[in-house]
DNA sequence: CTGTTAGCGCTTTCAG
DNA sequence: CTGAAAGCGCTAACAG
């Protein structure tokens, strides 16, 4: 473990105490506006603190057992628009309430996620908001968090065997309704491009897809389930595969906005016109309308609401209004922005 | 100051010591792989620590004066693609090297930025990477950081009176060359939409714009300088204003990608065809080519390189390879991606 | 109203 | 090789 570079000495309550000829406990009291302190003393202490640029040392506080205001936010992929927006929204909410957010990226890896959890414990973070890594089939590291009594909230992707608040979108209904929307518009051969089914988001969407097809007695059923990452290239490949089959889809539901980009690029490459040759509806974020061609009909996951709900659940845990042992789920509704892609 | 919710007791070296019947200082040594410790003892300690899920308490370490691995990253606006990408890149680099990044948003406000600096000091962050808020004309809070000996690196937007490493793009040359590019293509009335000139980025770009015009003896010179935020609406307004003048521009340089969106939307609203009616070149990020219509010719600020350079400068400061008193500037070169907007 | 004391968890002398 | 003791900055209980 390295030592400090030579820091200019930190100003402590003892420095202030010495300057004023009082005891440092008096300074401590004055700074915390203890009513017992003589107003004159208090005034002098505050002035001196201000003059010297005193800042309390949170490490000392924390060591004594006072809680801090730091929350760890763990996301699988920091570049993904969805997570970027979540980060932005949560950071804002937190900063306003005086909380400090640290961002960690698991890179979809179990090992990294476990390491991050260890770091979180080492640094005494007050709480953890997490969207689980794709490769985290084992959830033991989250149990460790609970051993240390650190509040935990899942959003979007959750671990089914951990009892903690979960903020999820209504994946099943959203997919179901999207398929019905396509069927209503006359599409008959609807395909689904999606991620691995061990993740709740994709499982629920796939279920919605299948059950909507079943309800309307549709025979055609073609899911391309991507297990290893969800890259633009994976979207391209899925599209390629669909078009190598004898029966080609006339509409596609994409469960990831990154995959959608691949689908669009491959469609362009193949000279397919959307929605004439193939329709497309995609899970994703609100777009800047009017600039992207074609405008994609999007099942919007409202990141602001997800962020707010997640942060609020965390606040409740931190304030002891709920306990960490409640495994309830809050569902955030999606909405559809109509483009010209279906 | 609130107290802990009832935490499950944290495992400490004393717990391990008690279980093994040794002194906690021995445990401490064993955990740090001190060669003086008896291999048997060491083995037992490590096993017990593992079994109990021991994690070191960084607060205790920090209180003793050991440095931690936390870096604060302060950005003016977390939703801006540029900053989002910087955040992503720096977080990645940091996580790999075992550093923890906390994100703060100043919301372009001086007061908030000052508050953040105070928080950074309170929490003993090891370093600060910052892009300055628009409203921070006063730089006293950054001086406070130096009083506390906390390493500071500026990127993109810097405070001229603070001597710290700065990572900036070659704004002047980029703007200059963009204008020459437009002139080379035959454009004669080139306008500039930009932000407040007290920020180095916009000042340098405006200088490049003006000097390129002067070099080629162009009379037309129309800058719309936006002082209060750089919203989509501001971009629209700028466009509106240009088109209310008698002499309308035939090309525009936009110094912000957000403004560019406004410009595009207003152009669409007015039925202006790009680049036939007006050409457009914009500072911004790498786009997903092939999907946005028209594809904007973009002066790309390579966020990955900026992030890497900033983080590396921070590492150097943390490792004492440079001192915080060197106010040198590292310039990162932009490059142009050709679209069909000029 | 203020000072004294102890202790949070850890490392680091200094003694054995 | 290991234990004892001190101390990082702060607060809280206790004693004046």
Calculate mean pLDDT across residues B121-125.
92
pLDDT of residue A2: 35
Q: What percent of chain A has a predicted confidence (pLDDT) above 90?
A: 75
pLDDT of residue A178: 98
Q: Which of A68, A66, A74 is nearest to A123 (CA)?
A: A68
Rounded to an integer, what distance in angstroms lies between the CA atom of residue A23 and that of residue A13?
Answer: 9
In this complex, is the C-beta atom of A96 within 8 Å of any C-beta atom belonging to chain B?
no
User: Is A52's pLDDT higher than 60?
Assistant: yes
For chain A residues 10-39, those near strand C by a CB cutoff of 7 A are 21-26, 29, 35-39
Q: Please, are residues A242 and A209 in contact by the beta-carbon 8 Å criterion?
A: no
CA distances, A312 to each of A121, A129, B104 (Å): 22, 11, 19
Distance A18 CA to D16 C1' (A): 21
Distance A41 CA to C5 C1' (A): 22
Calculate mean pLDDT across residues B1-28.
77
Helix (H, G, I), strand (E, B) or coil at A212: helix
Q: Is A160 left (phi over 0), alpha (psi -120 to 50) or beta?
A: alpha
User: Is B109's pLDDT higher than 70?
Assistant: yes
Rounded to an integer, what distance in angstroms lies between the CA atom of residue B155 and that of residue B171?
Answer: 13
User: Is A263's pLDDT higher than 90?
Assistant: yes
Q: Which nucleotides of C are covered by protein (CB under 7 A)?
A: 1-5, 7-13
Q: Which two tokens stand for residue A111?
A: 């090992």
pLDDT of residue B324: 67
Rounded to an integer, what distance in angstroms lies between the CA atom of residue A189 and that of residue A132?
Answer: 33
User: Is A327's pLDDT higher than 80?
Assistant: no
pLDDT of residue B197: 95
Q: Which of A221, A211, A146 is nearest to A174 (CA)?
A: A211
Confidence grade of residue A286 (pLDDT, cut at 50, 70, 90): confident
User: Is B9's pLDDT higher than 80?
Assistant: no
User: Is A7's pLDDT higher than 70?
Assistant: no
Confidence grade of residue B5 (pLDDT, cut at 50, 70, 90): very low
pLDDT of residue A8: 61
pLDDT in tens, B184-201: 999 999 999 999 999 999
pLDDT of residue A32: 92
Confidence grade of residue B8 (pLDDT, cut at 50, 70, 90): low
Confidence grade of residue B126 (pLDDT, cut at 50, 70, 90): very high
* Closest-approach nucleotide to residue A45, Cα vs C1': C2
Calculate mean pLDDT across residues A270-295.
88
A275: cis peptide before it, omega within 30°? yes
Q: Which long-range contacts (CB under 8 A, 24 or more apart) does B31-37 make?
A: B31/B56, B32/A1
- Closest partner CB to A118 (pick from B7, B55, B103): B55
Q: Is B280 left (phi over 0), alpha (psi -120 to 50) or beta?
A: beta
In this complex, is the C-beta atom of B142 within 8 Å of any C-beta atom belonging to chain A?
no
User: Is B220's pLDDT higher than 60?
Assistant: yes
Rounded to an integer, what distance in angstroms lies between the CA atom of residue B93 and that of residue B101?
Answer: 10
Mean predicted lDDT score pLDDT of chain A: 91
User: Is A224's pLDDT higher than 90?
Assistant: yes
Q: Count CB pairs under 8 A between chains A and B.
A: 167
Query: How many Cα atoms within 13 Å fall on the side-chain side of residue A134?
Result: 13
Rounded to an integer, what distance in angstroms lies between the CA atom of residue B143 and that of residue B158?
Answer: 13
Chain A stretch 188-217, residues whose beta carbon is closer than 8 A to a beta carbon of chain B: none
Rounded to an integer, what distance in angstroms lies between the CA atom of residue B90 and that of residue A76?
Answer: 15
Calculate mean pLDDT across residues A101-123.
92
Instruction: Quote the radius of gyration of chain B (alpha carbons, Å).
Output: 26
**DSSP states of A40-85:** HHHHHHHHHHHHHT----HHHHHHHTB---EEEEEES-TTSHHHHH
**DSSP states of B210-234:** HHHHHHTT----EEEE--S---HHH
Rounded to an integer, what distance in angstroms lies between the CA atom of residue A161 and that of residue A142?
Answer: 10
Q: Please count the residues of chain B.
A: 342
User: Is A6's pLDDT higher than 80?
Assistant: no
pLDDT of residue B174: 98
Calculate mean pLDDT across residues B27-32.
94
pLDDT in tens, B298-328: 999 999 999 999 999 999 999 888 776 677 8
Q: Please, are residues A110 and A133 in contact by the beta-carbon 8 Å criterion?
A: yes
Confidence grade of residue B53 (pLDDT, cut at 50, 70, 90): confident
| pTM score of the predicted model | 0.90
Give the best residue of B95, B119, B142 to mutate against chain A (max A CB count within 10 A): B95
Calculate mean pLDDT across residues A309-335.
89
Calculate mean pLDDT across residues B91-96.
92
Count the Cβ atoms, other than its own, within 10 Å of residue B28.
Answer: 17
């Amino acid at each position: 473990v390295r030592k400090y570079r030579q820091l200019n000495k930190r100003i402590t309550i003892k420095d202030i105490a010495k300057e004023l000829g009082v005891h440092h406990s008096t300074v401590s009291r004055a700074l915390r506006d203890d009513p017992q302190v003589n107003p004159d003393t208090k005034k002098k202490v505050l002035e001196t603190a201000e003059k010297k640029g005193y800042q309390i040392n949170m490490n000392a506080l924390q060591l004594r057992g006072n809680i801090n205001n730091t929350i760890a936010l763990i996301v699988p992929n920091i570049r993904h628009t969805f997570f970027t927006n979540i980060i932005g929204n949560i950071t804002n909410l937190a900063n306003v309430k005086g909380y400090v957010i640290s961002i960690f990226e698991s890179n979809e890896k179990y090992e990294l996620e476990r390491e991050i959890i260890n770091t979180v414990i080492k640094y005494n973070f007050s709480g953890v908001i997490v969207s689980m890594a794709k490769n985290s089939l084992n959830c033991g590291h989250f149990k460790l968090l609970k051993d240390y009594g650190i509040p935990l909230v899942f959003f979007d992707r959750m671990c089914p065997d951990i009892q903690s608040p979960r903020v999820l979108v209504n994946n099943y209904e959203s997919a179901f309704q999207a398929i019905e929307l396509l069927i209503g518009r006359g599409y008959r051969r609807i395909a689904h491009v999606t991620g691995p089914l061990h993740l709740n988001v994709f499982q629920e969407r796939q279920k919605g897809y299948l059950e909507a097809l079943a309800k309307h007695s549709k025979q055609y059923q073609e899911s391309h389930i991507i297990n290893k990452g969800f890259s633009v290239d994976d979207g391209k490949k899925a599209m390629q595969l669909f078009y190598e089959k004898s029966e080609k889809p006339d509409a596609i539901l994409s469960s990831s906005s990154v995959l959608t980009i691949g689908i669009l690029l491959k469609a362009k490459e193949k000279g397919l016109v959307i929605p004439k040759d193939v329709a497309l509806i995609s899970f994703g974020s609100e777009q800047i309308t009017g600039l992207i061609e074609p405008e994609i009909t999007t099942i919007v996951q409202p990141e602001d609401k997800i962020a707010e709900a997640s942060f609020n659940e965390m606040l409740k845990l931190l304030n002891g209004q709920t306990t960490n042992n409640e495994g309830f789920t809050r569902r955030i509704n999606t909405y559809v922005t109509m483009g010209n892609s279906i």
